[in-house]
Structure 1
């Protein structure tokens, strides 16, 4: 196996923001919105592009899911993963993923989203996974991450921890945002998913 294919998830393989969708699925809606009121200044700043996504995600996770039952969160994640795979994937990008599998390339989802639902997504798609890992203690979510938010430079760092990148003659990468740029730049073949969810070559 001489080729590695790397896929971002939100906005790339998945057409929607799976992270926020999972938060809304994991707890009752009224509870979700009440919790979000506590961090409304940060949420407003995030939408004004004044608060970075790699800080917003951990804050939202902690605010909404701290002290929730970890087993229940995994069950919700299983159902949510099934929904994402059946209804939310970008079919053009999914076709590329399947092409890589047919070519017997090593295929990996590399995402800042959570293992709670990305692990079952990866299993359903029969691919490997590098993502943000959440922490639990005695079956209770602590509200913390077990690993750093897997975005930007962290994507490349985690890839280098898991794979000998020099062993691959070709590295393909697919992304859609500034959080994927570092991963795209290490690829020999890089592709960008634009706002119309269309695949195009990425110019380094």
Structure 2
């Protein structure tokens, strides 16, 4: 819940394609392992990958499968360190300047600012810390410092974004809700906003018309 009783505005930012100009999820997979190891593991799920690129296999099923294939039985501490370095790279080189300016404006207005993303806590937690914002995202599971390959929470996309938001915030307490997104996975979140914005394929900000 918001900690400031006088706070009446909430600002929600998707990450991949919105605040970040690139696909951070796939980029993280590729940065965490040597290329030959990454591609060798991906060969195991090549039919699903092909179906995904043909739009026959949904992203909210592809992400958990890819994560399990790449990271099952990897050392959690090592992957967290990779995530911290990757977060610094994203913040320094990959953020959309126009959307970042909006995020900073919301902070100046003392709005409650939250990244809401289907991407992973392994690197989004340090990103959120660097940007001084709150975070709702997909959480991964570890057992005795080893990644199990499973998600600890549902893939945080589509309707799940709104479900997770409602677990953390009473949306009725806000007089204004701003939301920023760029894909069909953000539409449910955009529709709960009083002020919704779409980031187009040129990475430009425009009003979301529903």
**Do they fold alike, i.e. is TM over 0.5?**
yes
**Alignment correspondent of 2:208:** 202
Per-residue CA deviations over 1:3-34 (Å, capped at 9, x if unaligned) read 00000000000000000000111111100000
TM-score, normalised via structure 1 length: 1.00
Distance in 1 between the 2:202 and 2:166 partners? 31
Distance in 2 between the 1:196 and 1:64 partners? 31
TM-score, normalised via structure 2 length: 0.97
Distance in 1 between the 2:191 and 2:63 partners? 24
Q: 1:141 aligns with which of 147, 163, 169?
A: 147
User: SS in structure 2 opposite 1:136?
Assistant: strand
Distance in 1 between the 2:198 and 2:51 partners? 26
User: SS in structure 1 opposite 2:55?
Assistant: coil
**Alignment correspondent of 1:46:** 52
Instruction: Give the deviation of 1:97 after TM superposition.
Output: 0.2
> Does residue 7 in structure 1 map to residue 13 in structure 2?
yes
Distance in 1 between the 2:193 and 2:166 partners? 13
| Matched length | 204
Distance in 1 between the 2:75 and 2:31 partners? 14
User: Displaced runs of 4+ in structure 1, greater than 2 A?
Assistant: none
Structure 2 gaps of 5+ residues are 1-6
Structure 1 gaps of 5+ residues are none
Q: 2:168 aligns with which of 156, 162, 171?
A: 162
CA RMSD, 1 decimal: 0.3
Per-residue CA deviations over 1:104-123 (Å, capped at 9, x if unaligned) read 00000000000000000000
Per-residue CA deviations over 1:73-102 (Å, capped at 9, x if unaligned) read 100000000000000000000000000000
> Does residue 186 in structure 1 map to residue 192 in structure 2?
yes
